[in-house]
C-alpha cells in the first residue's frame, strides 16, 4: 500500500501529463482527486480554474478562481490574485454569462490599481481603491491591496510625509 504522499505524487504526475496533452476532462478528474487530498492547495485550485477556462466553462472557472482569489486575499498575496484576474479579463466577453460581463469592470479596476501601485503612483491608486470600495465595501482583495499600499507608503516615507500623501489623496479623490 502506498503512502498518502506517494499516492499524491502519482496522481499529480498523471494530472500534469493529461493537462499538457490537453485532455481537459481527464485532467479535471485527476486534479479533483488532488483537491480532495488537500483542499488548501491553492495551486491545484488555480489549475482547476484553468481547466474549466480551457473547456470554456466560464461560470465554473470563475467560481473556482474566486475561491483562490479569496484565499490569496486573506493571505495578502495580492500579486497571485491579480494574476487570476489577468486571466479572466482575457476571456471573450461575447461568450460570457451576463453576471460575469457585469463584473469585468471590477476585475479591470484591480489590474489598474495594481499597475498604479507598481508604478509608484500611490495617490492615483488610493483614488481607484476608494471608488472600488464605495461600490464594494467588503471587497477582500481591495482591502488587501489597501493594506499593501499602506505598507508601501510606510516603508518609503517618513511619518509626516506618509500622512500628507494619504490626506492629499483622500481629499483629491473624495
The pLDDT of residue 79: 93
The pLDDT of residue 152: 75
pTM: 0.81
The pLDDT of residue 17: 96
Q: 140-156 vs 58-74: helix axis angle to the nearest 10?
A: 40
Please list the pLDDT of the chain residue by residue as tens digits (174 residues). 567 678 989 999 999 999 999 999 999 999 999 999 999 899 999 999 999 999 999 999 999 999 999 999 999 999 999 999 999 999 988 888 888 888 888 899 999 999 988 888 888 888 898 889 888 899 889 888 888 887 777 776 666 666 676 677 667 765
Confirm if 83 and 58 have CB atoms less than 8 A apart. no
Amino acid at each position: 500500500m502506498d503512502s498518502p504522499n506517494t499516492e499524491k505524487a502519482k496522481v499529480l504526475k498523471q494530472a500534469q501529463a493529461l493537462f499538457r496533452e490537453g485532455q481537459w476532462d481527464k485532467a479535471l478528474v485527476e486534479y479533483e482527486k488532488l483537491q480532495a487530498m488537500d483542499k488548501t492547495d491553492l495551486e491545484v485550485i488555480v489549475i482547476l480554474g484553468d481547466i474549466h477556462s480551457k473547456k470554456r466553462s466560464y461560470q465554473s472557472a470563475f467560481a473556482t478562481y474566486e475561491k483562490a482569489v479569496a484565499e490569496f486575499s486573506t493571505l495578502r498575496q495580492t500579486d497571485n490574485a491579480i494574476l487570476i484576474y489577468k486571466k479572466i479579463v482575457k476571456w471573450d466577453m461575447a461568450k460570457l454569462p451576463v453576471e460575469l460581463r457585469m463584473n469585468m469592470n471590477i476585475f479591470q479596476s484591480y489590474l489598474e490599481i495594481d499597475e498604479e501601485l507598481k508604478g509608484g503612483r500611490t495617490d492615483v491608486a488610493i483614488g481607484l481603491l476608494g471608488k472600488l470600495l464605495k461600490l464594494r465595501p467588503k471587497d477582500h482583495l481591495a482591502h488587501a491591496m489597501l493594506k499593501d499600499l499602506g505598507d508601501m507608503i510606510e516603508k518609503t516615507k517618513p511619518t509626516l510625509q506618509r500622512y500628507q500623501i494619504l490626506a492629499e489623496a483622500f481629499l483629491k479623490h473624495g
